[in-house]
């Protein structure tokens, strides 16, 4: 303590009864207290329009200064895919042994970017919006969820670009494409959950935002974004637990599911066992766990 505590100020003595009793008698509640979990869910639901409006506003504001405007929503992911194709497909030749490499790669890049950006945005959801947190009252979980939603909207633009690429490379649309919907829903829940965990950690220690790019890049390289986990594991003698780890990796699970849904030459036997169970399990674990973890610190967000 760097400052001396002064004696209580010479204010008129409070009413005869203690203030806490007076508050209780009139049914006043403690300001800034954390609501119960069911109440929190209800509050959050009441703010659903704010969550969607905030996500859309962020998305639109992103390219509003650019001359080409919203064209960048589609152009950015396409350029990203082109760079990765140049490095991994042309220079390094990772494509050997993978049928339809370009659709394979682009799907991987887009689906990975969705998770990566959601987590990055989540890390800064509270620490980067302190002004908002300190000015207005709303369930703070609205912020990480809103950022995850913004990334989902962004991904839908990317998916439009992906469909064009797929059609160009002779992939035929089929009923299996419908599997993309549950995959995206599960991935979104997973992303939002991890975002909430990161948002709480980032709110307490903003330094984490500096660390995340390195962690995420490492995670990307083990997630089979540019290479096929299945094809690589077949011809190598890595220990079994490494195989299990690589296959259970949530990012790899969602990426492979999306490839399975969209690309004809990506067959079911290339998927790890119990892949839907993994996808659902990760979504539930991250979604519910992340939400509860975030709620536990609700009243502390925005502190100095």
Which positions touch other proteins (CB under 8 A)?
A: 1-3, 5-6, 8-12, 14-16, 18-20, 22-23, 26-33, 46-47, 49-50, 53-54, 57-58, 60-61, 64-65, 129, 131-138, 205, 207, 299-300, 302-304
CA 123 to chain centre: 10
Least separation in angstroms between residue 154's CB and other proteins is 16
Nearer to other proteins, 48 or 96 (CB): 48
Tokens of 4: 């001396």
Tokens of 233: 């594991």
Dist. CA 125–CA 199, nearest whole Å: 6
Q: CA–CA distance from 59 to each of 14, 44, 155, 160, 238 (Å)?
A: 52, 21, 11, 16, 43
Q: 233 by DSSP, 3-state: which?
A: helix
Least separation in angstroms between residue 99's CB and other proteins is 43
Nearer to other proteins, 137 or 273 (CB): 137
Nearer to other proteins, 264 or 299 (CB): 299
Which is nearest to 255 in space by CA: 116, 69, 83, 140? Answer: 116
Least separation in angstroms between residue 28's CB and other proteins is 4
Least separation in angstroms between residue 211's CB and other proteins is 11
Which is nearest to 142 in space by CA: 7, 247, 50, 264? Answer: 50
Look-up of token digits 């140049």: 86
Dist. CA 112–CA 106, nearest whole Å: 10
Nearer to other proteins, 26 or 273 (CB): 26
Least separation in angstroms between residue 40's CB and other proteins is 14
Nearer to other proteins, 48 or 267 (CB): 48
Nearer to other proteins, 46 or 292 (CB): 46
Sequence-separated (6 or more) residues with CB below 8 Å from residue 303: none
Supply the Cα-derived Rg of the chain in whole angstroms: 24
Kindly report the CA angle at 119 between 117 and 121, in degrees rounded to 5? 65
Nearer to other proteins, 134 or 274 (CB): 134
Least separation in angstroms between residue 145's CB and other proteins is 14
Least separation in angstroms between residue 8's CB and other proteins is 5
CB-side neighbour CA atoms (13 Å) of 70:
9
């Amino acid at each position: 303590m760097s400052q001396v505590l002064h004696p209580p100020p010479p204010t008129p003595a409070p009413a005869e009864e203690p203030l806490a009793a007076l508050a209780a008698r009139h049914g006043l509640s403690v300001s800034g207290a954390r609501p119960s979990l069911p109440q929190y869910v209800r509050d959050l639901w009441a703010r659903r329009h704010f969550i969607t409006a905030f996500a859309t506003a962020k998305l639109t504001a992103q390219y509003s200064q650019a001359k080409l405007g919203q064209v960048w929503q589609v152009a950015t992911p396409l350029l990203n895919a082109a760079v990765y194709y140049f490095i991994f497909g042309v220079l390094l030749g990772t494509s050997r042994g993978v049928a339809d490499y370009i659709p394979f790669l682009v799907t991987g890049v887009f689906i990975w970017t969705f998770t990566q950006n959601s987590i990055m945005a989540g890390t800064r959801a509270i620490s980067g919006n302190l002004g908002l947190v300190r000015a207005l009252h709303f369930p703070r979980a609205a912020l990480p969820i809103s950022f995850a939603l913004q990334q989902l909207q962004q991904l839908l633009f990317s998916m439009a670009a992906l469909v064009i690429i797929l059609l160009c490379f002779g992939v035929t649309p089929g009923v299996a494409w419908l599997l993309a919907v549950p995959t995206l829903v599960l991935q979104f829940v997973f992303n939002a959950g991890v975002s909430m965990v990161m948002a709480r950690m980032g709110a307490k220690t903003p330094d984490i935002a500096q660390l995340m790019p390195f962690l995420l890049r490492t995670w990307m390289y083990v997630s089979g974004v540019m290479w096929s986990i299945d094809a690589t594991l077949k011809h190598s003698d890595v220990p079994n637990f490494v195989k299990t780890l690589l296959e259970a990796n949530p990012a790899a699970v969602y990426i492979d599911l999306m490839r399975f849904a969209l690309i004809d030459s990506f067959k079911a036997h290339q998927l790890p066992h119990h892949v839907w169970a993994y996808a659902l399990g990760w979504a539930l674990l991250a979604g519910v766990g992340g939400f509860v973890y975030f709620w536990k610190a609700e009243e502390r967000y925005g502190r100095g």
